[in-house]
Structure 1
Amino acid sequence: MSKFNLSWKVNDLKNECKRLKISYSGKKNELVNRLNEYMKKNSSEVVEEVQKSLAEEESVELVDVEIAVPAINNNEFNEMEEQDDKNEEDILNENGKRVRCVYIKEEEFDNIHIAKQKLENNWKYLRLRPTRNGMKEYFICNLGANCKKQIFILYHDDDQKVSIWHSSLEHDHTNEKKQFGINSVTKKTIDTLYMSKVNTATLILHSLRERKDQFKPKKFETDPDVPNEQHVPGIVIPTILQIYNYLNNTLKPIIYAKSHKNRFSYGDLENWVQNNCLVINTSIIRLTLSSKALLKLAMKTSHICADATYKLMWHNFPVFIIGTTDLNRSFHPFSVSICTNETGQDYEFVFSSVKKALNNIYNFEYKPSALIADGAEAITNSFISAFGYQNINEFLRIMCWAHVHRAVDSHTKLIDELNKPKIRDDINLLQISPNREYFNFAYELFKKKWSNKSSVIDSFLKYFESTWSYFRNSGWYEGIAENIPSTDNALESRNGKIKLIHTLRKRLSVNVYLTNAVNMLRHWSLDTFSEKPFISTEISEGSWKLASIYLY
């Protein structure tokens, strides 16, 4: 009768083939035939050796499933526990070798609840194992990923008492692995913020910054420490990309997989009205918000951008943003102002606020030499008055080219389709004029070219000359100033971000927006701003001549 048959597992058959050093490839029936043929060809001693090894494996399995628990005294218990613990193995060294681990009795308790209270949160459940001495519940150290320290709770069979035994291995928290991604505390905070309608990565980043510090930021260095009520211990500020990936890949699929409905009761409405009431006692309100970090930027610049935006508050108050741009055409704000109107006096207040703040804090006389804004006369006159200029000839009044372009497009709609694109192309050529003389000469040619063509074109030329060729509004050509952009698109983009990120395109009450504006300025101040030095190389006159000869 053959020893091997189809009742064997494939893995067992392969292991036998490997042990006998024969081929272990092929299907199950092929392995059975190959092993049986090998047994027939070899002596009976090999068969006896195989049967002997099989009997040893079966005996080991019978020992593992034995459940009889004899009555023993304490001495016998210690001897059997020591023998039972010899089977306990643990990885101790860096080479991955297993060594025997000895468990030592630490303390005995009346019941399991007291024992688990002793463990607290420093141990993590590992497994539950029945032994000859009773049920053992194993725990592993929870303070480090590489720590191999283990304990078990032994349930006594004769009473309800339990005992805690700890391994002879010492705690090892030295070679901890580096933490990647967002930690659990930060993830829970992000979940709470997202469910509270703080649902963009930028807003969540700002909110995490507010909860990281234990004390509120000081206005002055001498101010006492005020505890931060929003402080959450254990927060680690992630990058905005990590927040974005966590929202889109983890949190949103979980939330949107469930159906939920927001409820807002009449009691909530009443509480909201009481907490958001605002009574204005005066008809005119003007205030400016800024920080030292933002004001420092003004000391390094010579041009200023100014504009007002609406639809941020229910009262439709204009919000004034002034700042500057760098050579990459990125906008850097100085301050945020709120006024009840958009007049020359309001703009003068905005400009004067920055000037006075720089003088009081840094003893710096701020007087920019260029102004970038739209064509409103109120902005120009208030700039002259605030910074002590006599007239417009003493500074550069740069007119935003984007405003000019949109105005020209709207006023050329009545011109015939044949001449309309030609006129627009000529105006675009005027915009790239390198200096004032070139611009004036080109404009005279433009006017001479299109005069007396039709009544509609003559009407447009009158509008264009009175509005955009007028000296106060003619600074929209490219060469009016070096290293200064000809548009205030960067400022317009910042206004759009304020509505998108900081108000979520919703109109707020004045008191809510003021709190929002303070947080917005603080985050602007925390954003890094670095100056990049320009590297210039002197080129000799001979090199220029050789380059010219090579090109021409």
Structure 2
Amino acid sequence: MPNFVQTQQYESSSESDDTMDQQNVQEKTKIERNVDWIRDKCFSNDTDAQIAIKREEQWSRYFTNKVQDGVKVHYRCNKVKFRGTQCNAAIYLFYPHNSDEVILFRANNEHNHTDSSKRYFFSEEMKQNIQELFDMRLKPKKIYEVLEEKNFKITRNQVNNYLTQLRKQKFGPSSLSLGELESWCQEKHTVPQSDDESFVVSFHIHYEDDSDDDDEDVVDDGNKFRFFLSSKRLLQIASISTKLHADATYKLNWQGFPVLVVGTSDCDRKFHPFGLAVCTDEKEPEFEFIFKSISDGVNRITGSAFTPEVLIADGSGAI
């Protein structure tokens, strides 16, 4: 009968290394979570506590931890980025279940962030400079370069984010609902004093659940809109023009809808627009709407009739 000798269990070097790494990670985690918290202040309510934190101008809300006897709301040092190594300094507000008081605890650690991770805040002077450069139609990259030349401390992302907010303030949201579009058309329907300020000459909004006897496009029923933009000066040019250019082929679009431009040409073959229209389609009712809008606009501004003698267009059946 063969004799078997029991040997020690084999353990590879990779397995032992993995075990050591796991132990190191666990020990490291325990060390990082071992924070010495010191009770600092006690507030009678949450409002007073929030005011005190804001006055220090260095804390941002981090996370909330529910414990057995209350709730802890932790705050981090906002002089460092959210995604990155956090500063050792920290605070938290404790909301006990059995009291309305709010207690402020502070970590017994000093700030350890460097200037390289410092967050830069917008001053009013910086905002004014960005607005002026934006009005000059400079691109974001150029705006950032100009700000750097003026020794403003700012990042590329901050410039882009502020420009996004600025566009919303000046031009409204990037997308509009049909109701918002109708409100905007009604607001811009009034003829301005300036000869070069654009306004909505006419518009038509049709909702899917509306019954519109005047709309002949019953085959493609649904939400539809049409509006025509022009100015007093452009309509004055239209009143003395004998040629009308219209083309169903469009390269411009707004929110995915065709932007149709109509106008005239002079003896040097230069094009002069009468205005532009945005429609949900480019069929016969749309061009009929555009031609009628020009006629109504000319009569409204000059009191004369719009009587072109020549229509220059492509072979589209819609025109």
Instruction: Name the TM tier (shorter chain).
Output: 0.3 to 0.5
Larger Rg belongs to: 1
Higher strand share: 2
Q: Point out which structure has higher relative CO (alpha carbons under 8 A, 6+ apart).
A: 2
Higher helix share: 1
